[in-house]
Structure 1
C-alpha cells in the first residue's frame, strides 16, 4: 500500500514514469498555457504527448517528506544550539570563578607590595631620623662647648681691660700670663659649617624610586590588559546563507550570500506539483 502511494504521488499520472525532480507551479502553468494553442501537451519528464490537458495536483507526499527533512534539520540545529548554550554557560561560570580567583590573588599581591613599600618607607624614615639625631647631638655638644669657650674668652677680655688700667705692677704680672695664655683643655678646632647640607639626596632617591615604580606599573598594566583581552570567552564563525533557501516568499539571499533582503517582487511561493 505504501509502495502504491509512493508510486502514485511521485510519478506522472498519465505516463506513470517516476519524477526525478519537483516542478514549480509557475513553470507548469506557463507550459500548459502555451500548449493550449496547439492542443498538444508534452510531459516535461517523459516527453510523452497527450491530447488532453493534464490536471495539476499538489504532490502531498513529497511536501510531507520535505517537511520531515526540514523538521529534522531544525531539530538538529536546535540540539547544536542547546549544546553551544550549555558550553557557553559553563565557560561563563568558569570565567566568573577564574576572575574571582584572579581578583583575590591580585588583591593579596597588591597588599604585599603595599606592605613592602611601607617597609621601605619606614626604613627610609628611620635612617633619616637616626642621621638627624646624630647630627643634632653632635651639634648640641659643639654648641655647648662653643658657648663655654666664648664665656671664658669674654671673661679674659674683661680681665685684660682691668689689668690694662691697673697701677699695681705685682697684680699685673701675676694675672698677665693667665689671661693671655689659652688653655689646652677642651680645645675646639675651627668649625666650618656646610651651607649645602640637606636631605635633598634622600628626597631625590625616593623620587626616583617613585618614578620607576609608576613606569613599571604602567608597563605591566598594559601587558596585563593585553593578556586579558587576548583570551576570548567564545568565538563565532561566519556563516554563509543558502541562496536556494526560501523560508519566506518575500525574502531572498544577497549576491555575497551573507545578507537576507526583503522584496515584494519575488516569484510566487514554491509549490511542488506533478502531472
Structure 2
C-alpha cells in the first residue's frame, strides 16, 4: 500500500489499512475502501455468513456488491502523478512539509496550487469566478502595481495590459479589448507568421537536401579529379622516365663506340710510333757511319719503307650540345606545364557548389523587409566537374 500523506481518518484513506485508497470501491452504505482490503475482510467473515461495514458496522445477510468510485479513483490517480517540486518549479503555497509542484496559479488568491489543493477551485462555488492561469513564479507581474487588480484588459494605443481601474482612469478613451481577446487576435497573426516560418523551414529543408546531394557529388567529383590527376602525372612521369632512359642509353652507347674507336686509334698510333722509332734508329746509324760500303748496303733497305697514316682530327669532344638540347627541352616543358597548370587551376577554381541568384536575392530582400534577417543561397544548377 502507498504511504499515507493525509490524516488516517481522512476521506482519501482506507479505514482498514489507513493508507491512501488503492483501487477504491464503495459499499451500499456509502463507505469507501481499498478493494483488496474489503475483500480480504469479507473473505474471513464468509464462514459466519454475515458481512458488516468496518466503518458503520452495518450488517448484510449476503455479501454486498462493490461499486468502483471513478471520481475518487481519478483524484487518487492525479495524486500519484504529483511530484515534489524540483529546482525551477513553482511550488504549491498550501502544501506543508513536502512541497509539491504547482500546476495552476490563481490571480484572485495570489497563490499557486498543486493538483490536490486546486480541487476547491473546481468543486466549490466560492471559487468559480477566480482567475486561474498556468503556474507562474511571478504572480506579481500579472497584477497592476498601482491598483492591485489583475491585468485583464489590453490597451491597443499603449500596447500594454492594464487593470479595469486603469481602463477607466489613465486609459480612458483608448481602444480597449480584453487581454484574452487581444492575445487570441495576436496569436492568429502569429499563426500566419508561423506558417511563413514553416514554409521557409520547408524551403530550407529542400535546399539542405539538395545541398547535401550536391556536396556528395562534389566530393566524389573532387576524388575522381585527384585520382585522374595522379594517373595523368604518373603517365607523364613514366613517359619522361622512359625518354630519360632512352637518352641515357644513347649517351652510353655513343660513349662506348667513340671510346672504343679512340682506344683503337691510340693503339694504332702507338704501334706506328714504335715502328717510326725503330726506323729512326736505323737512320741514325746510317747518318753516323763513315763506312760507305755499309751505308749503301743498308740505304736501299730503309728508304721509303715506312708508311704513315694521316692523323684523325678530334671533333665534338663533349656532350655539351646535347646537354643544351636537354636544357631547352626542360625549359620548354616548364613553359608548357606553366601554361596548362594556369588553365587547370582556373578550371578547378570554377567548380563551385553555391551561387547567389537573383531569385533568392529577391526572397532575401522580402525577408529583410519582414524583419527576418535570414540569408539564403541557391544551389548552382550548372555544377559539374569539368
Bigger relative contact order (CA 8 A; separation at least 6)? 1
Partner of 1:121: 244
What do the CA deviations read for 1:211-270 (whole angstroms, capped 9, x no partner)? 11112112211111111111211123442244454x8xxxxx9xxxx9xxxxxxxxxxxx
Of structures 1 and 2, the larger Rg is shown by 2
Give the one of 193, 197, 206 matched to 1:70. 193
1:18-33 mapped onto 2 (5 Å cutoff)? 24-26=156-158
What do the CA deviations read for 1:170-210 (whole angstroms, capped 9, x no partner)? 332232133231434xx41133333x632111001100111
Unaligned segments of structure 1, at least 5 residues: 1-22, 29-35, 42-52, 248-252, 259-275
Partner of 1:106: 229
Partner of 2:341: 221
Q: C-alpha separation between the residues in 1 aligned to 2:368 and 2:312?
A: 99
The CA deviation at 1:121 is 0.8
CA distance 1:167–1:242, change in 2 (3 Å): closer
Pairs aligned (count) = 207
Give the one of 304, 309, 312 matched to 1:188. 309
Q: C-alpha separation between the residues in 1 aligned to 2:320 and 2:185?
A: 95
Q: C-alpha separation between the residues in 2 aligned to 1:222 and 1:158?
A: 77
Asked whether 1:233 is paired with 2:356, we answer: no
TM-score (norm 2): 0.48
CA distance 1:161–1:70, change in 2 (3 Å): same
Q: C-alpha separation between the residues in 2 aligned to 1:82 and 1:229?
A: 28
Unaligned segments of structure 2, at least 5 residues: 1-154, 161-168, 376-386
1:122-137 mapped onto 2 (5 Å cutoff)? 122-137=245-260
Give the one of 306, 318, 322 matched to 1:202. 322
Helix, strand or coil at the partner of 1:228: helix
What do the CA deviations read for 1:28-47 (whole angstroms, capped 9, x no partner)? 9xxxxxxx9xx9x6xxxxxx
Question: Alpha carbon RMSD of aligned pairs, Å?
Answer: 3.1
Comparing both structures, which one devotes a greater share of its residues to helix?
A: 1
1:1-275 mapped onto 2 (5 Å cutoff)? 24-26=156-158, 55-58=176-179, 59-184=182-307, 187-194=308-315, 197-236=317-356, 237-238=360-361, 239-240=364-365, 241-243=367-369, 245=371
Q: C-alpha separation between the residues in 1 aligned to 2:344 and 2:156?
A: 61
TM-score (norm 1): 0.65
8 Å CA contact retained: 2:286, 2:295: yes
Name segments (4+ residues, structure 1) moved above 6 Å: none
